[in-house]
Structure 1
Amino acid sequence: MQYVVAVRTLCEFAARQGDLDLRFTPAPSAQEGIAGHQLVTGRRGPHYERELSLRGEFMHLTVRGRADGYDSARNVLEEIKTHRGDLARQPANHRHLHWAQAKVYGWLLCEARGLSELTLRLVYFDIATQQETAISEAHSAPQLRLFFETLCGRFLAWAAQELAHREARDAALAVLAFPHPQFRSGQRELSEAVYKIAANGRCLLAQAPTGIGKTVGTLFPLLKACPAQKIDKVFYLAAKTPGRRLALDALALIGASAPAMPLRVLELTARDKACEHPDKACHGDSCPLASGFYDRLPGARADSLAAPVMDRAAVREVALRHGVCPYYLAQELARWSDVVVGDYNYYFDGSAMLYAMTLAQEWKVGVLVDEAHNMVERARRMYSAELRQDDFRAVRRKAPAALKRPFDKLQRAWNAVHSVQLKPYEARDALPDAFVTALQQASAAVSDHLAETPAQPDASLQQFYFGALQFTRLAEAFGSHSLFDVTLEPAGAARRQDDATLCIRNVVPAPFLKARFGAAQSAALFSATLSPRDYYRDMLGLPENCAWIDVASPFEPQQLAVQVVRTISTRYPHRQRSAAPIVRLIAQRYADAPGNYLAFFSSFDYLQLVSSLLREQHPLLPVWEQERRMDEGARTAFLERFAPGGRGVGFAVLGGSFGEGIDLRGDRLVGAFIATLGLPQVNEVNEQMKARMGQAFGAGYDYTYLYPGIQKVVQAAGRVIRTREDRGVVYLIDDRFAQPAVRDLLPSWWSVAG
């Protein structure tokens, strides 16, 4: 069996050496890189061949790739690299890697064309100056063949190991048994649906209630499908840390049920949590874990993959033992892992690492998206950008002289955007071309300046640069899926004139996400709240043939008493007078059935209004509140108040940290009071989004307000019943819960009174 490897992967594995060096070197964008390659090759003569597809073999290794260009008249093979700034500052190990790629392509060309010798040329093209720097070397075919075979020899043992691992993995997965004696109610139905879409190459929306074991019920069938469908990787993506922990626990359970199965599981951790030296820069002169990183990487890589589970703690332990950076070790391990557990952004963000690897390596991947009701808001944030003029003023004041002219021009263009605006907020039909042009020019100037600036750049200037890049990228893709709006900040003591915040605000993420779903062999999105399905399919860009399953709840209606309190309105004008009847309701229920309860409100102000009155009128009733910006320790302390056999009422904001993703089984939680429909605030931004939703889908109010709001209500109510032994009560406090349009969105197994 042949092992197929790309030229770039071969060279990065076998030829990379020296330090990890991430000193700021503004790289051309992908579009600039493509344009640069086209400009360089367009300057060549009629005998120039572009994008040569080459491949060769060494024992059971097949190496393939595309060389940039070959001049047959001069017998010159070119490897083209775009850059910005002084080429003399390029790290030596980067140049070494570029030569390695050129030499591998050189041998593949010599072998394919029967050449006895060849001139190799590295062509560095400066995007800013449009100038080429060429470095040439002449090589004989035997020299290139020796280099190629040396690299392949280094990789060959690894390739043999990987082939053996894949064969053993697939053999074990083919006979993998379900890790429990039997499926839970609804779990088999979910598992069968995931297996079928993996076999058919489709997507799935699965509404599956809490308590059926969704994590195991999705991972197990997708792993079972891997051998027959030749799936290379499984990506399990979650919105929050608890979701990733559940996935790792489920994979540990599956692994324990088949101890001979060689399944490599990796957890990806955010850079700010994985960094061991946050006070140091990412290069060998500053951080000891960057110094000699690539020299020590082979040992760390092999050591890591010897363990079946590479979670955050395991990766860190190996990394520190070998003296390498844990964060960048994990990125390397993603290439060789079978299951990768991480946040949504690793696959769905505009610069997502796993998505880029999938395309570059031509992997067949299966994607699982946990708690997928979070995807709409998360994806909107991924494809939105905001620039604050007061932040730019601060950067402009400290900017070096070289940036004065482009920054002055940008300031004038910024002022022109809002000079005629009379209202504090205004949505525009189109982007201001003059501003976008000025921003692009300022970004290029900052890029050139930073490329020429040694050591660590100014943090605020770099932050502005990254924000400007995001804004200009989204400006290039601007369309009906997004809004452009301008918000005025009135003049004050710190400045004499108004400033404006400019925002490209994504409304419908579908156009950005569609390609990511298309790149996967299959994708299953699951949650307890994915109704109505058309809303999620429309918003997330799922294909027309996306399958749908609504798994029946394992719970009985008598387990949960749901009561609509239609005598109270929680609308904003009525909140002051709603506090007293809500306090009476909570106190009466607590007196009748003491225990642990959660009370959810639409805002911290509303929460404080009711909790203060409850404390005043019932001082002996234990009460604790969610606070703004609680850290992890404070959140843990809040949840620890819900002890078995405990008594009291915890106050929380709907849609916040305690509205989903917490598991309070048994009598740790016996009821919930939900004093809001969860509707997003009516403001100018949401009204603009409603108008855009109406134009796109004909359901502006539902898509903007009703569906997101009720989804939060159902998630919060879902905290009460977690197992088939649980019993509890939920009070839906607002007369609007009695409306048919709202009732239709509540879970079908609920028996709602009132």
Structure 2
Amino acid sequence: MKYTVAVRELTEFTAKQGDLDLRFTPSPSAQEGIAGHAVVTARRAAGYQTEVSLSGDYRHLTVRGRADGYDPTRNRLEEIKTFRGDLERMPANHRHLHWAQVKMYGWLMCDKLGLEEMHLALVYFDIASQKETAIEETHSAAALKQYFEEQCGRFLAWAEQELAHRSARNQALTALRFPHASFRPGQRQLAEAVYRATATGCCLMAEAPTGIGKTIGTLFPLLKACPGQELDKVFYLAAKTSGRGLALDALSLIKKSEPALPLRVLELIARDKACEYPDKACHGESCPLAKGFYDRLPQARSAALVHGAMDKEALRTVALEHQVCPYYLSQELARWSDVVVGDYNYYFDTSAMLYGLTAANQWRVGVLVDEAHNLIDRARKMYTAELDQTEFHFLRQSAPAALKKSLDRLNRAWNALHRDQEEPYRVYPEIPLKFTTAMQQVIADITDFMAENPTHVDSKLQRFYFDALQFSRLAETFDMHSLFDITLKADSRRADSMLCIRNIIPAPFLGPRFEAARSVTLFSATLSPWHFYCDTLGLPENTVCVDVESPFRAEQLSVRVISKVSTRYQHREESLSPIADLMARQYEDKPGNYLAFFSSFDYLQKVLELFKARYPQITTWEQSRRMEEAEREQFLARFTPASQGIGFAVLGGPFAEGIDLPGERLVGAFIATLGLPQLNPVNEQIKERMGAAFGAGYDYTYLFPGIQKVVQAAGRVIRTQQDRGVVYLIDDRFARPNVRRLLPAWWKVES
């Protein structure tokens, strides 16, 4: 069986050495790199060959790639690298890797043309000065062949291991059995839909009730489909930590049921949560886990893959045993894992790692999107950019003299944007060219300054630089999918403003992500209306929508809708007393454990204070802002079969979904939504833009955003397998006919 690898991928595996160095050094953009290559090759004499396709074999390994340029007259093969700043500051391990690439191409060219020797050149092109620096070496074909075979030999041992793993994995997955004795009601329907969607290469949207086991019901069929569909990877994407935990638990159950299954499971976590030395910079002169990272990486990589289950703690243990950074070890292991569990942003964000690797390596992947109702809001944030003029003024005061001129020019263009604006918020039809031009000049000047002054440390400058880059990128793609709005800052001493490119319809950005996968399954307890999610997210036209039958019986759970209490912002004070009394009556009628959800910490605190004052005999505990994982675990640990009391939490937080408190650990919940102010200009603009894009039929989704959140939460708070539970939903907007139609028929609405 042949194993095919690109020259760049092979050399990055075999020839990387030395320190991990993440010090910020502005590098040319992809467009600048392409343009730089074009400038260099245009300077060459007639007959110069560009993008030369090369391929060669070593045993059952095929190595292929494209050499940047070859001059047949001089017999010179060139590898062109664009850069910014001082070439002397380029790390030695970067140069070593560049030589490895050009030597590999050198042998492939010698083999192709039957040459006895080859002149090799690393051509470094400075984007700023447009100057070339060439470093040349001459090697015999025999020496280049020996180098080629040494690198291939080192990689081939790994490739053979990977081929053996892939074969064993597929054989085990073909025979994989469902880890439970039987499917739950509705679970088989979900599993069959996932399998069929993967087999036919289409996307799937599945609305399935909470409690039927959606996690195992989607992972199992997708893993079963891997051998037949030749899938390289499965990505399980979750909105929150709790979702990742459920996926890891399900995968652990699958592996326990099939002990011989060689499945590599990797959990990706945020860099700030994985960092062992948050007070140190990511380079070898500061962090001990960055020093010599690439020298110790091969052993750490092998050890982690032997372990197989690479969750946060397991990965940390392996990383520290080999003295490498846990976060960047996980980034490397994503290439060699079978299942990757992580946040939405790893596949859907602008610089998503998993999507980038999928495209670069042409992987066939199956993607699962957990609690997919969250994806719209998350995607909008991914493709939204803000610039704060007050923070910009602080930057100008401390900025280096070399940047003053372009920063002042940008400030004048910024002021001109809102000079005639009288209302506090306004949407503009376009982003003026004068402003974007000034912004691009500032970005270019900061890039050059940082390249020339790599030791200069200025957190405000760097933060603005990244914000400006994001804003500039989104400005280039600005269209009807987004708004450009300006908010005047009332608390500013000067006439400052906040600029925002606000994404409304993420479909144009997410569409390519869906197309890159063999199949994407989005599942949640609430994905209605189908057309809204399909159109807004940019799902393909052949997407299949499945409404999984609920195994739930109305007598198992009492859902009582209280429509006589207004939770609108202006009525919030009046709502406190009836909500507190309602909670106390229900508790006294049936003591036990309850959860009370509110749409903000402020609302939560007001109800809690009143409740404690009126009913001090009832035990209460509360969610606090920015709770650590240990604190969240302590909050849930209060719910035991023997305990009684009410836990106060916030809608949309970690306790609103993804928790499992079966039996008498939880007997009821109260859910109240905080209404938005009567006039919300951003909401009005969103409704108008959505209406223009899709028609007025979508309006209700935005007229009642709080109601949608409540309806979604109700299905998650009490698990469907629990008998005799009770949920109260509190908001007077439930009395409206066009809201009532969103509710299940068996919910009892109390006027």
**If the length of structure 1 is used for normalisation, what is the TM-score?**
0.95
Name the amino acid aligned to 1:614. F
SS in structure 1 of the partner of residue 108 of structure 2 = helix
Equivalent residue of 1:24, what SS?
Answer: coil
**Change in 2 beyond 3 A, CA 1:563/1:341:** same
The answer to whether residue 718 in structure 2 is matched with residue 721 in structure 1 is yes
Cα deviation code 1:281-323 (max 9, x no counterpart)? 1111111111111111111111111112111111111111111
Match of 1:44 in 2: 44
Match among 681, 685, 698 for residue 684 of structure 1: 681
1:205 and 1:524 in contact (8 A); partners too: yes
Equivalent position of 1:566 in the other structure: 563
Cross-structure match for 1:608: 605
1:516-527 matched pairs, under 5 angstroms: 516-527=513-524
**In structure 2, do the counterparts of structure 1 residues 678 and 65 end up closer, same or farther at CA, with 3 Å as the change threshold?**
farther
- In 2, distance between residues paired with 1:491 and 1:668? 47
The verdict on how the C-alpha distance between 1:570 and 1:337 changes in structure 2, with shifts beyond 3 A counting, is: same
Q: Is the 8 A contact 1:372 1:527 kept in 2?
A: yes
Contact 1:564–1:735 (8 Å) recurs in 2: no
- How far 1:216 sits from its partner (Å)? 1.0
Assess, with a 3 A threshold, how the Cα gap between structure 1 residues 708 and 189 changes in structure 2: closer, same or farther: farther
Q: Per the alignment, do residues 720 and 334 of structure 1 end up closer, same or farther by CA in structure 2, a change over 3 Å counting?
A: closer
Counterparts of 2:395 and 2:227 in 1: how far apart (Å)? 54
Pair 727,66 (structure 1): closer, same or farther in 2 beyond 3 Å: farther
Aligned match of 2:229: 229
Aligned equivalents of 2:255, 2:584: Cα separation in 1: 48
Deviation at 1:750, TM superposition (A): 4.8
The equivalent residue for 2:442 is: 442
Whether 1:746 and 2:750 are equivalent positions in the alignment is no
- What is aligned with 1:253? 253
Distance 2:207 2:260 in 1: 33
Structure 1 match to 2:66: 66
Matching residue of 1:472: 472
Match of 1:452 in 2: 452
- Pairing of 1:107-186 with structure 2 (within 5 A): 107-186=107-186
For 1:718, what is the secondary structure of its paired residue?
Answer: helix
Secondary structure of the residue aligned to 1:306 is helix
2:529 to 504, 522, 532: 532
- Structure 2 CA distance for partners of 1:16 and 1:451, relative to 1, 3 Å: same
Matches of 1:242 and 1:456, distance apart in 2: 40
Query: How far does residue 196 in structure 1 lie from its aligned partner after superposition?
Result: 0.9
Question: Which one is further off, 395-404 or 674-683?
Answer: 674-683
Structure 1, 33-42 or 389-398: larger mean CA deviation? 33-42
What corresponds to 1:699 in structure 2?
A: 696
**Is 1:199 matched up with 2:196?**
no
Measured against aligned partners, the alpha-carbon deviations of 1:582-611 in whole angstroms (never above 9, x if no partner) come to 333222222222222223333334333433
SS across alignment from 1:724: coil
Secondary structure at the aligned position of 1:183 is classed as: coil
- Contact 1:562 1:731 (8 Å CA) reproduced: yes
| Residue 589 (1) aligns with residue 586 (2) | yes
Q: What amino acid sits opposite 2:446 in the alignment? A: V
Task: Give 1:564 deviation, angstroms.
Answer: 2.3
Deviation, structure 1 residue 328: 1.0
Please state how far the C-alpha of 1:159 moved relative to its aligned partner: 0.9
Counterpart of 1:277 in structure 2 is 277
1:700 CA displacement: 7.4
CA contact (8 A) 1:383 1:506 kept: yes
Deviation at 1:30, TM superposition (A): 2.0
Q: Which runs of 4+ in 1 moved over 4 A?
A: 677-682, 747-754
Alpha-carbon distance in 1 for matches of 2:620, 2:260: 51
Q: 1:518 to 1:404 in 2, by over 3 A?
A: same
Q: Matched residue of 2:10: which SS?
A: helix
- How far 1:619 moved relative to its partner? 2.9
Shift of 1:67: 1.9
CA contact (8 A) 2:266 2:310 kept: yes
Report the CA distance shift for 1:180/1:12 in structure 2 as closer, same or farther (over 3 A).
Answer: same
Distance 1:680 1:44 in 2: 66
Give deviations 1:129-149, integer Å, cap 9, x for gaps. 222222222223222211111
The 5 Å alignment of 1:491-510 reads 492=492, 495=493, 497-510=494-507
* Superposition deviation, residue 633 in structure 1: 4.2
Could you tell me how far apart the structure 1 residues matched to 2:677 and 2:266 are? 37
* 8 Å CA contact 2:660, 2:719 repeated in 1: yes
Please point out which of 629, 640, 644 is paired with 1:643: 640
The Cα of 1:239 is off from its aligned counterpart by 1.0
Deviations 1:185-227 (A, max 9, x none): 1111111111111111111111111111111111111111111
The answer to whether the 8 Å contact 1:678/1:713 transfers is: no
How many angstroms apart in 1 are the aligned matches of 2:456 and 2:659? 42
Pair 1:193–1:116, CA change in 2 (3 A): same
Measure, in 2, the Cα distance between the counterparts of 1:717 and 1:737: 14
Structure-to-structure mapping, 1:291-690, within 5 angstroms: 291-455=291-455, 457-490=457-490, 492=492, 495=493, 497-676=494-673, 682-690=679-687
Deviation at 1:157, TM superposition (A): 0.9
Q: Which runs of no fewer than 5 residues in structure 2 stay unpaired?
A: none
Query: Which stretch has the larger CA shift, 574-583 or 345-354?
Result: 574-583
Distance (Å, rounded) in 1 between the aligned partners of 2:220 and 2:608 = 45
In the TM superposition, what whole-angstrom CA distance separates every residue of 1:218-251 from its partner, at most 9, and x where no partner exists? 1111111111111011111111111111111111
Q: CA deviation at 1:21?
A: 1.5
Alpha-carbon spacing, 1:721–1:480, altered in 2? closer, same or farther (3 Å): same
Q: How far did 1:751 drift?
A: 6.1
Q: Which amino acid aligns with 2:256?
A: A
Relative distance call for 1:636 and 1:303 in structure 2 (3 A) is closer
| Counterpart AA for 1:366 | G
Amino acid at match of 1:87: L
User: In structure 1, how many angstroms separate the alpha carbons of the residues matched to 2:328 and 2:677?
Assistant: 39
* More deviation, 671-680/416-425: 671-680
CA deviations 1:721-742 (Å, max 9, x no partner) are 3152432112222332133432
Which segment drifts farther, 544-553 or 574-583? 574-583
Aligned-partner Cα distance in 1 for 2:703–2:723: 29
% identity of equivalent residues: 67
The CA deviation string for residues 235-272 of structure 1, in whole angstroms up to 9 with x for no partner, is: 11111111111111111111111111111111112111
> C-alpha offsets along residues 151-180 of structure 1, whole Å, 9 cap, x if unaligned?
001111111111111111111111111111
Does the Cα contact within 8 Å between 1:604 and 1:653 map onto a contact in 2? Answer: yes
Aligned partner letter, 1:388: D
- Once the two structures are overlaid, the 10-residue window that deviates more, 616-625 or 222-231, is 616-625
Distance 1:322 1:79 in 2: 34
Shift of 1:510: 0.9
Shift of 1:500: 1.4
Post-superposition shift, 1:679? Answer: 6.5
Show the counterpart of 1:190: 190
**Structure 1 portions without partners, runs of 5+:** none
Question: Structure 1 573/460 Cα, relative in aligned 2: closer, same or farther at 3 Å?
Answer: closer
Q: Return the alpha-carbon distance in structure 2 between the equivalents of residues 317 and 95 of structure 1.
A: 32
Q: 1:602 to 1:312 in 2, by over 3 A?
A: closer
Question: Aligned residue for 1:737?
Answer: 734
Query: Are the aligned partners of 1:346 and 1:354 in contact in 2 as well (CA < 8 Å)?
Result: yes
Partner Cα distance (1:15, 1:472) in 2: 36
In the superposition, the TM-score normalised over structure 2's length comes to 0.96
User: Relative to 1, partners in 2 of residues 1:240 and 1:602: Cα closer, same or farther, differing over 3 Å?
Assistant: closer
Aligned residues: 751
- Work out whether residues 211 and 554 of structure 1, in 8 Å CA contact, stay in contact via their aligned partners in 2: no
2:81 — aligned with what? 81
